[in-house]
Structure 1
Amino acid sequence: MTKFATIFFLGSLLYACTPAAPEQTKEIQIENNIERPFSDFELPDHVNFLGTEIQLKDIDLRERYEREIITNAYYHSSTFFILKRSKRWFPLIEKILKEEGLPNDFKYLAVAESGLTQARSYVGALGFWQFMEGTAKDYGLTLNKDIDERKHVEKSTRAACAYLKSAKEKLGSWILAAAAYNRGVNGIQNNLEAQYADNFFDLNLNTETSRYVFRIMALKEIIEHPEKYNFKINTYYNPYQIKEIRVDSTISDLSLWAKNEGFNKKILKKLNPWLISNQLRVEPGKSYVILLPAKGANLNAYREDNGE
């Protein structure tokens, strides 16, 4: 054995016989005791969605549903925040759906579209319901330099209801209407005719639309049974405590106006994200409702104490 080999062998032997530092031992023990977080979930034999009972004995339907369950159940931070936001926004959305005569399950479509945030897609769709500019205007939403009502939760929800009701009238079912929210009414109609089909589940569709309805169904299941999917929410986000002020004249400086009302621009924009500039031009005969914190609402509570 060469001199170098002898030294290397003795060094290796010494290292192998040296006890690990306490920190190293602890880390190894922790690593070895970690429970693997991934597991299957027990799926039901059928689900009820938009008033329709959907059997999941069919292999294709079951696997498509399971894919969305697993994807969203293990998409931890995103789904966790959706659960927390749901308590803030569902009461308003549910109220509007009921008034407009739509199934309550459509609130989960808003979740699938935006995660209940004022999201903007890479193609320019915006808001809880992800309206494109042209479609938003077609359904009565105002878009100009000062206002983008795609970010007005109540008005955009009513516009989405109008779209879905129109789609249902043309396509014949709420599930096809939901698919049309992703694919377009004409796109779904063309697929039905070309494939001699009469329902969503028999259609061969592009990947996005094929997954879309199942994603909404999966989000409904997870939101309604969070602990089954390993989500434990200690605190939800509550609805904002608000009061309404009707404005029928132009506000040239919204920051100053908010200050005079006892709040600030940050709070004004949080409650009214549809106000997209620092002014609100109001045409003669028109008015807007602006939301402000109700008396006692904990939205403007932070104050620096300056060390006192």
Structure 2
Amino acid sequence: MCVSIIGGINIDFKGSSHQKLSFKTSNPGRIFYSSGGVARNVAHNLCKLEVPVNLFGVVGDDIFGEVILTELNNLKINTNFIKNCDNCRTGVYLAILDEKKDMMVSISDMDIIKEINVNYIEKYKDTLLHSKLVFLETNLETQTIEYILKVLENTNVYTVFNAVSNQKVKKLKNITEEIDYLTLNFSELKSLIEQENLDFYDEKSIQTIFSDKFPNISNLIVTNGDMGVLFLTNRFKKTEFFSVGKVEDFEIIDANGAGDAFTAGLIYGIYEDADIEKCIEYGIKASHITLKSPKTVADDLSTKIFD
């Protein structure tokens, strides 16, 4: 059985400053580009973890779309479900990184993702129903998200959701369908539950607020950099904290992509029927490898890092 990945496929442009960023002026640094998008990144990570993947999304009939599809085919990721849109531009993500390689600001030009609509998903719903797990992200339109979750309702197909950003995660406020796993960072959690003064270590408050507001989400995984990972389950009303170990600043080459790698490691564990402790451990190890890589998907990522 495959994992089906649905969402953003785009080109990433990243500018990294050599020194502390100065605003409203030019900053010496390095600019590079690569294939990106949350869904594409997760699919690429899973490919390196030897998980069979079907990737669903859309690219434009342009040079960026051509580059992305060529790369995906070389990776042996199934692109048969990817829509090529004649009158659309391939999505572009632009990020500015500081001297510590953390993102300071980004712009996401993802209008093309509206082409992943109900009609598109309906064509492939049998493939989704025969998946072991379906991954979704909040770049998708709310109507599309709702339709996918309804298709998978009362099935044995796991659903894993990624929040993407502080703004886009707010779409989940309008979703009442069941979600098995939601992964997000602490900033996105605060935005989702509208509690900016929330204490990451106040597990009881987080559990109470989340259970009250989102009873439809079975499991919540909250990352917070080197402060750790918090796991909450609505089913058993319990929380568990995981320390992550520290990656030294000098080891970090690029923090972009670490979150997608964490999600892929988690999905790998679920795919392998591992317990949640192992799933989160896999996510942490995958993210650490990615922090130390100049690429959004680390060359060194493989199942060997889990040994």
TM-score by length of 2: 0.23
Task: Name whichever structure is richer in helix by fraction.
Answer: 1
Task: Name whichever structure is richer in strand by fraction.
Answer: 2
TM-score by length of 1: 0.23
Q: Highest CA radius of gyration, 1 or 2? A: 1
